[in-house]
Amino acid sequence: MYVPAHFEEPSQDVLHALIERHPLGILVTHGTGGLDANHIPFDLDRTAGPHGTLRCHVARNNPVWQEIATGDEVLVVFRSVEAYVSPTWYPSKHEAHRQVPTWNYIVAHAHGTVTVQDDERLVRRNVARLTHRHEAGQPVPWKMGDAPRDYLDAMVKAIVALEIDITRLVGKAKLSQNKEVRDIRGAAAALEAKGEEDLARAMHAAADAKDG
């Protein structure tokens, strides 16, 4: 990923938080069948390894787990907020007309090595962790024990677990930091008016940082 210095997000904690808030990642692999991309919810273990470990599961019918091998390099892309930015939102555009459209976004790329785990015990552990994390906010959290045992056994047998040890975590927060502070704030205000509050908030923070 191309990351100009002014768009780089160097904080691992910030990138970990992004992954936890937006856990549906794009797993990019290059296996025997060529390039492939799968959209998968991941569970991040921040404490496993220097950069963390990602765990997920895929359908047994999905060929991805057979087309890659333990030790292969993979990439997982996590995307946070994003939106189109019109040049008309920059105050400077109305003076010199030297602005063009762009797109702002925040993303994290997790590079790592994959381990294929066709092991029922590990599959159950991965599913339990992922379920616990995402059911925690429900009024009555669903748990694996709520399903009939024979049904759950059949479902577990139909999936395969993957574990990715993150070797490099790259973050990019493109928030108009290459613009004047007044232009960042102008675009942020326009996005806020359109309901893009999270991206607007991030841009205001970028303007604050640039303003000193």
Give the model confidence (pLDDT) of 193-209 as tens digits: 999 999 999 999 999 99
Average of per-residue pLDDT across 88-95:
88
CA atoms within 13 A on the CB side of 115: 11
Instruction: Answer whether residue 110 is part of any domain.
Output: yes
Work out how many domains the chain is built from and give that number: 1
Instruction: Answer whether residue 212 is part of any domain.
Output: no
Per-residue pLDDT of 171-192, as tens digits, reads: 999 999 999 999 999 999 999 9
Whole-Å CA distances, 68 to 55, 75, 85, 129, 165:
16, 13, 39, 24, 15
Percent of the chain with pLDDT over 70: 100
Instruction: Kindly indicate the confidence band of residue 138, based on its pLDDT and cuts at 50, 70 and 90.
Output: very high
Per-residue pLDDT of 55-73, as tens digits, reads: 999 999 999 999 999 999 9
Which residue range is the domain that position 17 belongs to? 5-179
- Kindly state the helix (H) or strand (E) to which residue 11 belongs, with its residue range: none
Instruction: Answer whether residue 87 is part of any domain.
Output: yes
Instruction: Answer whether residue 119 is part of any domain.
Output: yes
* pLDDT at residue 117 greater than cutoff 90: yes
Residues 100, 187 contacting (CB under 8 angstroms): no
Instruction: Answer whether residue 115 is part of any domain.
Output: yes
Instruction: Answer whether residue 195 is part of any domain.
Output: no
Q: Which residue, 211, 117, 125, 212, is CA-closest to 163? A: 117
Instruction: Answer whether residue 186 is part of any domain.
Output: no
Does this model's pTM top 0.85? My answer is: yes
Instruction: Answer whether residue 118 is part of any domain.
Output: yes
Whichever domain contains 22, its CATH number is 2.30.110.10
pLDDT, mean over the chain: 95
Residues 32, 67 contacting (CB under 8 angstroms): yes
Q: Which residue, 79, 76, 72, 74, is CA-closest to 104? A: 79
* pLDDT at residue 163 greater than cutoff 90: yes
